[in-house]
Amino acid sequence: MIRKSWSCGEKSPVLHPGYIREGKTAMIYMDNAATTFPKPPETEEAMLEAIHTLGNAGRGAHSASLSASRLLFETRAQLAQLFHAEDPSCIAFTQNTTQGLNTAIDGLFKPGDHVITTACEHNSVLRPLYRMQAKGLEVTILPADRKGRIDYNELEKVLQPNTRAVITTHASNVTGNVTDLKKVSAFTRRHNLLFIVDAAQTAGVLPIDVQRMYIDVLCFPGHKGLYGPQGTGGIYVRRELRVRPLMVGGSGVHSFDREHPGEMPTALEAGTMNGHGIAGLSGGLEFLKKTGLENIRLHEEHLARRFYEKIRRIPGVTLYGDFSSYEDKKECRDRAENPGRVATIALNLADLSSAEAADLLSADYGIEVRAGAHCAPLMHEALGTKKRGAVRFSFSWFTTEEEIDLAAQAIQSIVSDAG
């Protein structure tokens, strides 16, 4: 079993008043699809150092400003290496995945263009598309079945002469199902379309090679699988592609020009950057490099499989998503290219609403999960959970086997009491 630096009950960074175990107050955090918690020491240390050393990048030639500029460049280089980008200039910083997706959707399309997306998407894809649709963009949404899966053969059927792009999530934030990017990119390459990927649930967990996977735009968060702080993220843009900026303003260069600079990454970075947050992101990336993306993926898959096996036969538990990959007898290591799932499992308990179940888990067991619609309305329509929502468990490197077992026991108790 992989050993980690922190586990519940050992110097737990947050004390939860509702859960006592072995004389200690502790919280079992299982909402990592929203944001990873806790953050590694590297993240905290980098942010503290930045607070004491950084000025404003690109706004001076003094040491504090130059230190900030170096930090931004070095973090871009870390991200470019992680995602196999052509060079660091292809990476622009954003405050989250949502800003990146808004930038791409607003900056690449015009009225009369046609875009294909899926029912698996988060509102950070859907709402920008709906807004552009009101201005004349044509949008086709591929449906999902009752397990949250799309039919890739439908792509050819919805292709139009004015189709410009396919936008898809790499993994659903509700079901944990992983999109087969190879099949989608084969379609986009065949028809010379743009390929835009939402990596909110996969950056730092699954291997992403933007060049080999023919991804034109990749939007990713800093605060999830990259173990950085909230308020950080980024957008990768293929070197030859130009995206109209969502915001314009101060850039530190070409101040007398009426138009914002067009070269990356300055083109998509108006105003003062979140230097302290980016420092924390750099620390998270250092932790990721030392720990190993493959080790993290194997650990998370091991935990998700363990949880699934413990709860799937409990009467009163309804699971959502495609778990066929868990029936695959191949070693976890052999599925790195197409793992089928990330470590997110959505369910409902007995006749309880998702909110009631999540409240019981928190109040009686100290288990913190997400309930509701998860900002993915079309997925819930496909799953049949529009009114009820779903309880989402999501794991990280810092989740332990002990916590998995306690969560399964809590589920058993709740459905027994509800019955």
Which letter does DSSP use for residue 76 in this model? H
φ, ψ for residue 24, nearest 5 deg: -120, 145
Q: How many CA atoms lie within 13 A of 37 on its CB side?
A: 17
Q: Residue 182's CB: how many other CB atoms inside 10 A?
A: 14
Report how far residue 247's alpha carbon sits from residue 103's, in angstroms, rounded to the nearest whole number: 9
413 membership: H or E segment, kind and range? helix 401-418
Residue 261 pLDDT: 76
How long a stretch of residues is the chain?
A: 419
C-alpha dihedral, 238 to 220 to 162 to 192, nearest 10°: 40
Q: Which tokens hold the place of 352? A: 């309880």
Read off the pLDDT of residues 259-268 as tens digits, 9 standing for 90 and up: 877 788 988 9
Residue 392 pLDDT: 98
75 membership: H or E segment, kind and range? helix 63-83
Cis preceding-peptide flag for 265 (omega within 30 of 0)? yes
Per-residue pLDDT of the chain (419 residues; tens, 9 = 90+): 233 333 333 333 333 333 344 444 479 999 999 999 999 999 999 999 999 998 777 787 788 788 878 999 999 999 999 999 999 999 999 999 999 999 999 999 999 999 999 999 999 999 999 999 999 999 999 999 999 999 999 999 999 999 999 999 999 999 999 999 999 999 999 999 999 999 999 999 999 999 999 999 999 999 999 999 999 999 999 999 999 998 877 767 767 777 877 788 988 998 888 999 999 999 999 999 999 999 999 999 999 999 999 999 999 999 999 999 998 656 555 555 668 999 999 999 999 999 999 999 999 999 999 999 999 999 999 999 999 999 999 999 999 999 999 999 999 999 998 87
Give the contacts of 46 (CB within 8 A, at least 6 positions apart). Answer: 279, 280, 282, 283, 286
Instruction: Return the residue matching tokens 């280089």.
Output: 77
Residue 336 pLDDT: 57
Of 119, 229, 133, the C-alpha closest to 168 is 119
Residue 371 pLDDT: 97
φ, ψ for residue 257, nearest 5 deg: -75, 145
Report how far residue 387's alpha carbon sits from residue 380's, in angstroms, rounded to the nearest whole number: 9
Residue 230 pLDDT: 98
95 membership: H or E segment, kind and range? none
Give the contacts of 376 (CB within 8 A, at least 6 positions apart). Answer: 120, 121, 122, 123, 172, 173, 174
